[in-house]
A and B are shown apart, each in its own frame.
Chain A
Amino acid sequence: MTREEIRIYALDFLAGRLTCKEFVELLTDYLDGSMSLWTRVRFQLHLGLCRGCRHYLQHMKQTIRTLGRLPSEPPPPAIQDELLRRFRTWKQERPG
Protein backbone atom coordinates (compact mmCIF):
# COMPACT_ATOMS: atom_id res chain seq x y z
CA MET A 1 0.00 0.00 0.00
CA THR A 2 1.40 3.41 -0.92
CA ARG A 3 1.47 6.37 1.46
CA GLU A 4 -1.24 8.05 -0.59
CA GLU A 5 -3.47 5.01 -0.28
CA ILE A 6 -3.03 4.84 3.45
CA ARG A 7 -4.08 8.49 3.68
CA ILE A 8 -7.18 7.82 1.63
CA TYR A 9 -7.87 4.78 3.74
CA ALA A 10 -7.90 7.05 6.77
CA LEU A 11 -10.42 9.24 5.02
CA ASP A 12 -12.63 6.23 4.39
CA PHE A 13 -12.53 5.50 8.05
CA LEU A 14 -13.15 9.07 9.19
CA ALA A 15 -15.83 10.28 6.89
CA GLY A 16 -17.48 7.38 5.24
CA ARG A 17 -16.57 6.30 1.77
CA LEU A 18 -16.46 8.99 -0.89
CA THR A 19 -14.82 7.70 -4.02
CA CYS A 20 -13.08 9.76 -6.70
CA LYS A 21 -15.85 8.73 -9.07
CA GLU A 22 -18.42 10.26 -6.71
CA PHE A 23 -16.21 13.28 -6.17
CA VAL A 24 -16.14 14.31 -9.83
CA GLU A 25 -19.93 14.09 -10.00
CA LEU A 26 -20.34 16.33 -6.95
CA LEU A 27 -18.10 19.06 -8.29
CA THR A 28 -20.77 21.40 -9.68
CA ASP A 29 -22.79 21.12 -6.47
CA TYR A 30 -19.63 22.07 -4.59
CA LEU A 31 -18.72 25.01 -6.83
CA ASP A 32 -22.30 26.31 -6.75
CA GLY A 33 -22.45 26.03 -2.98
CA SER A 34 -25.44 23.71 -3.02
CA MET A 35 -24.21 20.87 -0.84
CA SER A 36 -25.45 19.58 2.48
CA LEU A 37 -23.05 20.21 5.34
CA TRP A 38 -22.22 16.52 5.75
CA THR A 39 -21.49 16.01 2.06
CA ARG A 40 -19.36 19.13 2.09
CA VAL A 41 -17.32 17.80 5.00
CA ARG A 42 -16.78 14.47 3.23
CA PHE A 43 -15.98 16.27 -0.01
CA GLN A 44 -13.39 18.51 1.60
CA LEU A 45 -11.81 15.66 3.52
CA HIS A 46 -11.44 13.77 0.28
CA LEU A 47 -10.08 16.87 -1.42
CA GLY A 48 -7.48 17.30 1.29
CA LEU A 49 -6.25 13.77 0.90
CA CYS A 50 -6.52 13.02 -2.81
CA ARG A 51 -4.06 14.69 -5.16
CA GLY A 52 -5.88 13.40 -8.27
CA CYS A 53 -9.11 15.07 -7.23
CA ARG A 54 -7.30 18.29 -6.39
CA HIS A 55 -5.94 18.32 -9.91
CA TYR A 56 -9.37 17.55 -11.29
CA LEU A 57 -10.89 20.46 -9.34
CA GLN A 58 -8.18 22.71 -10.77
CA HIS A 59 -9.02 21.54 -14.29
CA MET A 60 -12.63 22.44 -13.72
CA LYS A 61 -11.85 25.86 -12.30
CA GLN A 62 -9.53 26.58 -15.22
CA THR A 63 -12.22 25.42 -17.63
CA ILE A 64 -14.80 27.74 -16.07
CA ARG A 65 -12.36 30.65 -15.98
CA THR A 66 -11.44 30.15 -19.63
CA LEU A 67 -15.12 30.01 -20.61
CA GLY A 68 -15.65 33.31 -18.81
CA ARG A 69 -12.96 34.92 -20.92
CA LEU A 70 -14.20 33.90 -24.34
CA PRO A 71 -14.12 36.99 -26.53
CA SER A 72 -17.32 38.34 -28.04
CA GLU A 73 -16.94 39.50 -31.62
CA PRO A 74 -18.48 42.85 -32.59
CA PRO A 75 -20.99 42.60 -35.45
CA PRO A 76 -19.87 42.98 -39.07
CA PRO A 77 -20.38 46.50 -40.54
CA ALA A 78 -23.42 45.49 -42.61
CA ILE A 79 -25.32 44.36 -39.53
CA GLN A 80 -24.11 47.39 -37.59
CA ASP A 81 -25.51 49.69 -40.30
CA GLU A 82 -28.80 47.83 -40.42
CA LEU A 83 -29.19 48.05 -36.65
CA LEU A 84 -28.35 51.73 -36.69
CA ARG A 85 -31.00 52.31 -39.37
CA ARG A 86 -33.56 50.54 -37.16
CA PHE A 87 -32.44 52.58 -34.17
CA ARG A 88 -33.04 55.82 -36.08
CA THR A 89 -36.49 54.68 -37.14
CA TRP A 90 -37.27 53.75 -33.55
CA LYS A 91 -36.08 57.15 -32.37
CA GLN A 92 -38.21 59.01 -34.93
CA GLU A 93 -41.36 57.10 -34.07
CA ARG A 94 -40.79 57.51 -30.38
CA PRO A 95 -43.36 59.72 -28.67
CA GLY A 96 -41.98 62.82 -27.01
Chain B
Amino acid sequence: MSQAHASAVMLAEIQNLTPSAEPCPAGRSRPSIDGDERQAQKQPSLLQTTSEDLDLVERLRRGEESAFTWLVDRYHGSLLRLALAHVADRETAEEVVQETWLGVLEGVDRFEGRSSFRTWVFRILTNKAKTRGVRESRHVTFSDMAPLDDEPDEPAVDPSHFRSQGHWADYWSTYPQPWDERTPERVLLSQEATAWLEEAIEALPRNLRQVLIMRDVEGLDSKDICAILDITETNQRVLLHRARSRVRRALERYLEGGTTAA
Protein backbone atom coordinates (compact mmCIF):
# COMPACT_ATOMS: atom_id res chain seq x y z
CA MET B 1 0.00 0.00 0.00
CA SER B 2 2.82 2.42 0.87
CA GLN B 3 4.46 1.58 -2.42
CA ALA B 4 1.26 2.37 -4.21
CA HIS B 5 1.08 5.62 -2.32
CA ALA B 6 4.63 6.53 -3.35
CA SER B 7 3.76 5.80 -6.95
CA ALA B 8 0.66 7.93 -6.67
CA VAL B 9 2.78 10.82 -5.43
CA MET B 10 5.23 10.26 -8.27
CA LEU B 11 2.42 10.21 -10.79
CA ALA B 12 1.03 13.40 -9.34
CA GLU B 13 4.46 14.98 -9.77
CA ILE B 14 4.72 13.80 -13.35
CA GLN B 15 1.36 15.35 -14.06
CA ASN B 16 2.26 18.52 -12.26
CA LEU B 17 3.70 20.12 -15.31
CA THR B 18 5.79 22.84 -13.74
CA PRO B 19 6.62 23.72 -10.14
CA SER B 20 3.47 25.13 -8.65
CA ALA B 21 4.74 28.61 -8.06
CA GLU B 22 1.41 29.93 -9.19
CA PRO B 23 -1.54 28.60 -7.28
CA CYS B 24 -4.96 28.88 -8.79
CA PRO B 25 -6.74 32.00 -7.72
CA ALA B 26 -9.86 31.47 -5.71
CA GLY B 27 -13.22 32.20 -7.16
CA ARG B 28 -12.34 32.50 -10.81
CA SER B 29 -15.52 32.15 -12.70
CA ARG B 30 -16.40 30.85 -16.12
CA PRO B 31 -15.39 32.76 -19.22
CA SER B 32 -17.46 35.88 -18.95
CA ILE B 33 -18.41 35.97 -22.59
CA ASP B 34 -20.11 32.64 -22.74
CA GLY B 35 -21.13 32.60 -19.13
CA ASP B 36 -24.76 33.50 -19.55
CA GLU B 37 -25.38 31.15 -22.42
CA ARG B 38 -23.63 28.30 -20.66
CA GLN B 39 -25.48 28.81 -17.43
CA ALA B 40 -28.72 28.71 -19.32
CA GLN B 41 -27.99 25.57 -21.27
CA LYS B 42 -26.97 23.26 -18.44
CA GLN B 43 -29.06 22.78 -15.38
CA PRO B 44 -28.35 22.80 -12.53
CA SER B 45 -25.80 25.57 -12.24
CA LEU B 46 -22.32 24.19 -12.69
CA LEU B 47 -20.40 26.31 -10.26
CA GLN B 48 -22.02 25.94 -6.93
CA THR B 49 -23.96 23.37 -5.10
CA THR B 50 -27.57 23.91 -5.89
CA SER B 51 -30.52 22.96 -3.79
CA GLU B 52 -31.19 20.33 -6.44
CA ASP B 53 -27.74 18.84 -5.81
CA LEU B 54 -28.31 18.80 -2.06
CA ASP B 55 -31.75 17.32 -2.50
CA LEU B 56 -30.34 14.49 -4.62
CA VAL B 57 -27.57 13.81 -2.15
CA GLU B 58 -30.11 13.74 0.66
CA ARG B 59 -32.28 11.24 -1.24
CA LEU B 60 -29.21 9.13 -2.00
CA ARG B 61 -28.30 9.07 1.68
CA ARG B 62 -31.78 7.81 2.45
CA GLY B 63 -31.15 5.03 -0.06
CA GLU B 64 -33.67 6.14 -2.69
CA GLU B 65 -33.10 4.07 -5.78
CA SER B 66 -34.70 6.62 -8.11
CA ALA B 67 -32.12 9.24 -7.09
CA PHE B 68 -29.33 6.83 -7.96
CA THR B 69 -30.77 5.83 -11.35
CA TRP B 70 -31.35 9.48 -12.17
CA LEU B 71 -27.71 10.28 -11.44
CA VAL B 72 -26.46 7.29 -13.41
CA ASP B 73 -28.56 8.29 -16.42
CA ARG B 74 -27.35 11.84 -16.22
CA TYR B 75 -23.66 11.38 -15.56
CA HIS B 76 -22.62 7.97 -16.83
CA GLY B 77 -21.79 9.06 -20.38
CA SER B 78 -19.86 12.08 -19.16
CA LEU B 79 -17.91 9.95 -16.73
CA LEU B 80 -17.08 7.43 -19.42
CA ARG B 81 -15.85 10.17 -21.74
CA LEU B 82 -13.52 11.50 -19.07
CA ALA B 83 -12.39 8.02 -18.01
CA LEU B 84 -11.38 7.31 -21.60
CA ALA B 85 -9.14 10.36 -21.41
CA HIS B 86 -7.30 8.76 -18.49
CA VAL B 87 -6.92 5.06 -19.23
CA ALA B 88 -5.81 3.01 -22.18
CA ASP B 89 -8.94 1.16 -23.26
CA ARG B 90 -12.71 1.18 -23.05
CA GLU B 91 -12.96 -1.86 -20.82
CA THR B 92 -10.72 -0.27 -18.19
CA ALA B 93 -12.60 3.02 -18.55
CA GLU B 94 -15.91 1.26 -17.86
CA GLU B 95 -14.42 -0.35 -14.77
CA VAL B 96 -13.17 3.04 -13.58
CA VAL B 97 -16.67 4.48 -14.01
CA GLN B 98 -18.17 1.61 -11.99
CA GLU B 99 -15.58 2.19 -9.26
CA THR B 100 -16.53 5.86 -9.35
CA TRP B 101 -20.20 5.06 -8.70
CA LEU B 102 -19.20 2.89 -5.77
CA GLY B 103 -16.99 5.74 -4.59
CA VAL B 104 -19.97 8.07 -4.81
CA LEU B 105 -22.10 5.73 -2.69
CA GLU B 106 -19.34 5.21 -0.14
CA GLY B 107 -18.57 8.91 0.05
CA VAL B 108 -22.05 10.39 -0.09
CA ASP B 109 -22.19 10.88 3.67
CA ARG B 110 -19.03 12.98 3.48
CA PHE B 111 -20.23 15.24 0.65
CA GLU B 112 -20.39 18.69 2.19
CA GLY B 113 -21.53 20.71 -0.79
CA ARG B 114 -18.39 22.83 -0.93
CA SER B 115 -18.16 22.09 -4.62
CA SER B 116 -20.93 21.19 -7.03
CA PHE B 117 -21.96 17.57 -7.14
CA ARG B 118 -20.62 17.38 -10.69
CA THR B 119 -17.17 18.59 -9.61
CA TRP B 120 -17.18 16.15 -6.71
CA VAL B 121 -17.99 13.19 -8.96
CA PHE B 122 -15.33 14.14 -11.49
CA ARG B 123 -12.78 14.40 -8.71
CA ILE B 124 -13.64 10.88 -7.55
CA LEU B 125 -13.31 9.59 -11.10
CA THR B 126 -9.94 11.24 -11.63
CA ASN B 127 -8.60 9.75 -8.40
CA LYS B 128 -9.88 6.28 -9.32
CA ALA B 129 -8.31 6.61 -12.78
CA LYS B 130 -4.99 7.74 -11.32
CA THR B 131 -4.95 4.85 -8.86
CA ARG B 132 -5.69 2.53 -11.76
CA GLY B 133 -2.89 4.10 -13.78
CA VAL B 134 -0.44 3.54 -10.94
CA ARG B 135 -1.52 -0.05 -10.46
CA GLU B 136 -1.14 -0.78 -14.17
CA SER B 137 1.80 1.51 -14.81
CA ARG B 138 3.72 -1.29 -16.46
CA HIS B 139 1.18 -1.21 -19.27
CA VAL B 140 0.80 2.52 -19.54
CA THR B 141 3.04 4.70 -21.63
CA PHE B 142 3.85 7.97 -19.97
CA SER B 143 4.58 9.83 -23.17
CA ASP B 144 1.18 11.49 -22.98
CA MET B 145 2.03 12.93 -19.61
CA ALA B 146 5.32 14.42 -20.70
CA PRO B 147 5.98 17.77 -19.08
CA LEU B 148 4.62 20.61 -21.16
CA ASP B 149 7.97 22.37 -21.18
CA ASP B 150 9.49 19.60 -23.26
CA GLU B 151 6.93 19.97 -26.01
CA PRO B 152 7.58 22.32 -28.87
CA ASP B 153 5.35 25.37 -29.11
CA GLU B 154 2.25 24.53 -31.03
CA PRO B 155 0.68 27.41 -32.96
CA ALA B 156 -3.09 27.78 -32.62
CA VAL B 157 -3.33 28.48 -36.34
CA ASP B 158 -1.26 27.12 -39.21
CA PRO B 159 1.45 29.78 -39.82
CA SER B 160 0.67 29.65 -43.55
CA HIS B 161 -2.52 31.61 -42.80
CA PHE B 162 -0.44 34.66 -41.89
CA ARG B 163 1.64 36.89 -44.12
CA SER B 164 5.26 35.98 -43.86
CA GLN B 165 6.97 39.29 -44.56
CA GLY B 166 6.65 43.01 -44.87
CA HIS B 167 5.01 45.48 -42.52
CA TRP B 168 1.98 43.21 -42.18
CA ALA B 169 3.93 40.09 -41.38
CA ASP B 170 1.98 37.92 -38.89
CA TYR B 171 -1.35 39.47 -39.86
CA TRP B 172 -3.89 37.30 -41.69
CA SER B 173 -3.04 36.67 -45.32
CA THR B 174 -6.66 35.67 -45.86
CA TYR B 175 -9.31 36.40 -43.27
CA PRO B 176 -11.01 33.48 -41.55
CA GLN B 177 -14.57 33.35 -42.85
CA PRO B 178 -17.45 33.50 -40.41
CA TRP B 179 -19.10 30.12 -39.85
CA ASP B 180 -22.54 31.56 -39.32
CA GLU B 181 -22.97 32.67 -42.90
CA ARG B 182 -22.10 29.30 -44.33
CA THR B 183 -23.61 27.09 -41.68
CA PRO B 184 -26.27 27.75 -39.13
CA GLU B 185 -25.34 26.64 -35.67
CA ARG B 186 -27.61 23.65 -35.74
CA VAL B 187 -25.29 22.06 -38.32
CA LEU B 188 -22.75 21.85 -35.52
CA LEU B 189 -25.28 20.00 -33.41
CA SER B 190 -26.17 17.39 -36.00
CA GLN B 191 -25.40 13.75 -35.25
CA GLU B 192 -22.67 13.75 -37.87
CA ALA B 193 -20.99 16.85 -36.45
CA THR B 194 -21.26 15.44 -32.93
CA ALA B 195 -19.49 12.25 -34.00
CA TRP B 196 -16.83 14.35 -35.72
CA LEU B 197 -16.37 16.41 -32.57
CA GLU B 198 -16.07 13.32 -30.36
CA GLU B 199 -13.46 11.99 -32.76
CA ALA B 200 -11.53 15.26 -32.60
CA ILE B 201 -11.59 15.09 -28.79
CA GLU B 202 -10.42 11.48 -28.78
CA ALA B 203 -7.49 12.43 -31.02
CA LEU B 204 -6.18 14.93 -28.46
CA PRO B 205 -3.25 13.99 -26.22
CA ARG B 206 -4.53 12.88 -22.82
CA ASN B 207 -3.59 15.97 -20.84
CA LEU B 208 -5.28 18.28 -23.35
CA ARG B 209 -8.30 16.04 -23.49
CA GLN B 210 -8.77 15.88 -19.72
CA VAL B 211 -8.70 19.66 -19.38
CA LEU B 212 -10.95 20.27 -22.39
CA ILE B 213 -13.57 17.76 -21.26
CA MET B 214 -13.74 19.10 -17.73
CA ARG B 215 -13.68 22.75 -18.73
CA ASP B 216 -15.66 23.01 -21.96
CA VAL B 217 -17.76 19.86 -22.15
CA GLU B 218 -18.64 19.65 -18.45
CA GLY B 219 -18.22 23.29 -17.52
CA LEU B 220 -16.15 22.83 -14.38
CA ASP B 221 -14.48 25.81 -12.80
CA SER B 222 -10.83 26.26 -13.79
CA LYS B 223 -9.64 26.34 -10.19
CA ASP B 224 -11.38 23.03 -9.54
CA ILE B 225 -9.71 21.54 -12.60
CA CYS B 226 -6.31 22.72 -11.37
CA ALA B 227 -6.97 21.05 -8.04
CA ILE B 228 -8.30 17.82 -9.53
CA LEU B 229 -5.41 17.39 -11.98
CA ASP B 230 -2.85 18.97 -9.65
CA ILE B 231 -1.60 21.45 -12.23
CA THR B 232 -0.99 25.19 -12.10
CA GLU B 233 -3.40 27.72 -13.49
CA THR B 234 -0.95 28.64 -16.23
CA ASN B 235 -0.59 25.06 -17.35
CA GLN B 236 -4.31 24.55 -17.26
CA ARG B 237 -4.73 27.50 -19.57
CA VAL B 238 -1.98 26.41 -21.99
CA LEU B 239 -3.47 22.92 -22.22
CA LEU B 240 -6.96 24.32 -22.70
CA HIS B 241 -5.76 26.75 -25.35
CA ARG B 242 -4.04 24.01 -27.35
CA ALA B 243 -7.02 21.72 -27.03
CA ARG B 244 -9.54 24.38 -28.08
CA SER B 245 -7.35 25.46 -30.99
CA ARG B 246 -7.12 21.88 -32.25
CA VAL B 247 -10.85 21.30 -31.92
CA ARG B 248 -11.58 24.59 -33.68
CA ARG B 249 -9.38 23.45 -36.56
CA ALA B 250 -11.22 20.12 -36.63
CA LEU B 251 -14.58 21.89 -36.82
CA GLU B 252 -13.24 24.11 -39.57
CA ARG B 253 -12.22 21.04 -41.52
CA TYR B 254 -15.69 19.63 -40.95
CA LEU B 255 -17.39 22.76 -42.22
CA GLU B 256 -15.08 22.79 -45.22
CA GLY B 257 -16.11 19.24 -46.03
CA GLY B 258 -13.03 17.41 -44.76
CA THR B 259 -12.81 13.68 -44.41
CA THR B 260 -11.06 13.12 -41.05
CA ALA B 261 -11.48 14.93 -37.77
CA ALA B 262 -8.06 14.23 -36.33
How many B residues are at the interface, by size bracket?
35 or more
**In this complex, what residue of A is CB-closest to B108?**
A90
Give the distance to chain A from B108, nearest Cβ to Cβ, in Å. Answer: 9
Q: Is the interface of B mostly helix, strand, loop or mixed?
A: helix
User: B77 near A: Cβ within 8 Å?
Assistant: yes
Q: Mark B168-181, 1 if CB is under 8 A from A, else 0.
A: 11111011111110
In the complex, what residues of B have CB within 8 A of residue A29's CB?
237, 241
Bound state CA distance, A90 and B34, in angstroms?
40
Bound state CA distance, A58 and B169, in angstroms?
23
**In this complex, what residue of B is CB-closest to A17?**
B170
Q: Do A75 and B76 touch (CB < 8 A)? A: yes
Give the distance to chain B from A13, nearest Cβ to Cβ, in Å. Answer: 12
How many A residues are at the interface, by size bracket?
35 or more
B interface residues with partner A (beta carbon < 8 Å): 28-29, 31-34, 37-38, 41-42, 63, 65, 68-69, 72-78, 80-81, 94, 98, 101-102, 105-106, 155-157, 159, 162, 168-172, 174-180, 185, 188-189, 193-194, 197-198, 212, 216-217, 219, 222, 233, 237, 240-241, 244-245, 247-248, 251-252
* Between-chain CB contacts (< 8 Å), 6 pairs: A21-B170, A29-B237, A29-B241, A59-B252, A68-B219, A72-B76
